[in-house]
Amino acid sequence: MASLPWTPSNFKSGSPPRGLPLACKAFGAGASPAAQERWLRPWRDGGLGFSLLLVLAGTRTAEVEGISAAGATSAARRYTAVADAELLLKGPDRSRLCSLPPLPAGISPALISYVAARWIGVDPLVAAVGLTLPPPFPHLRLEAPGMGPAACLSTGEAMGLSRVHALWQRGFCLGRGLRRPLVLAECVPGGTTTAQAVLTGLGLQVADLISGSARQAPMFLKQELVDRGLSKAALGFNPPPQRVIAALGDPFQPVAVGLLLGAREAGQPVMLGGGSQMVAVLALALAAMDPSHRQDMVDGIVLGTTSWLAEEAKRSDGRPGALECLIDCVGEFFGVRLLGLATGLRFHNSQHRALQDYELGYVKEGVGAGALALLAQLQGASCEQLLEACDQAMNQLLGTSCS
């Protein structure tokens, strides 16, 4: 790999900050100073002290025209997850087998994740489940590759219940074997729609709180798919979470829920890197638990996200934005206090239009970008340094052709 002017040894400055770094924000009912300090403690003292797992997954929901901007066409979205993972693993200055799919605007959040992961010094582990084709790089295989993507959630039969149970158990075993904190990231085109579907299936009214990769989320289309899926699934009152996933979900969800439950049983804290997809995973985990144990579980969990997602749909009168309302909605439903943290990274002053597009509401989050940028800040990176590094990574990306 080519030498970069922004490698950690060149641009680390001083000791990691105490408390929340500059421009970062805490939100949600669990955002007390005591909760923040308890949460920050295990994460600020060295990047090699945690595991980073990126889970790639596929659902035919992503092939519905207009449902996702994580690829300009339904065909392109079949390979978005693999292309994003390859950028995270190899970086922008090396030839990759899978080209990044064309986007309506912006650039893959994997570029941010790559920059932040290099700063921290953490090596990602990639797991794949339900993809059209196996990734062309070493990865953790969670089931036979022939299983393929989940069916569109509008069928009400996204996956077989036995498949959901097997993935849940595989995730649980992985989580229970952890010996250090976990950062969980995902890349699942169409995943915000399956998140909305499973949250609705659990009984929450969240249709106006779910984001997506597009500048303006296709809310009517999402709700139409969810309504059709719910009608066909006939879940009834208080359905078991595995049944909800089987009817309306995607393969990432049972793996992630199992991981979360296993990691907390092992006593490890978990940072969920993302937005509504991770909130849905947390809700599914809470639904599977005895109510008396729920707060103990979430005391070791935080949502790490980007400023663009955390501030989306924030009211002019200062009332919370959609994501904060979503985690508080889930918290109230299950009787717990949830905490979210947002990185301070912004792209107003970027040299590249594709990065400036984030400030206009495009892309927003994915591949653990917000969580990793937050962790880089916790270990001493300033927002200006991360911005400069992202600009230089874009220069390299534009100068590198994929094979």
Q: Would you list the domain boundaries of the chain? A: 19-398
The model's pLDDT over 181-217, given as tens digits with 9 standing for 90+, comes to 999 999 999 999 999 999 999 999 998 899 877 677 7
Spatial contact of 116 and 21, defined as CB atoms under 8 Å apart: no
- More confident position, 251 or 39: 251
Question: Lowest-confidence range among 6-20, 138-152, 205-219, 387-401?
Answer: 6-20
Task: Evaluate if residue 320 carries a pLDDT over 70.
Answer: yes
Average pLDDT over the chain reads 89
Residue 157 or residue 399, greater confidence: 157
Q: What's the pTM value of the predicted model, to 2 decimals? A: 0.92
Summarised one tens digit per residue, pLDDT across range 80-94 is: 899 999 999 999 988
Distance CA 337, CA 339 (A): 7
Query: Residues 143-156: what's their mean pLDDT?
Result: 94
pLDDT tens readout for residues 31-77: 988 888 888 888 876 545 899 999 999 999 998 887 776 655 676 67
pLDDT-above-70 percentage for the chain: 90
CATH number of the structural domain 19-398: 3.40.50.10210
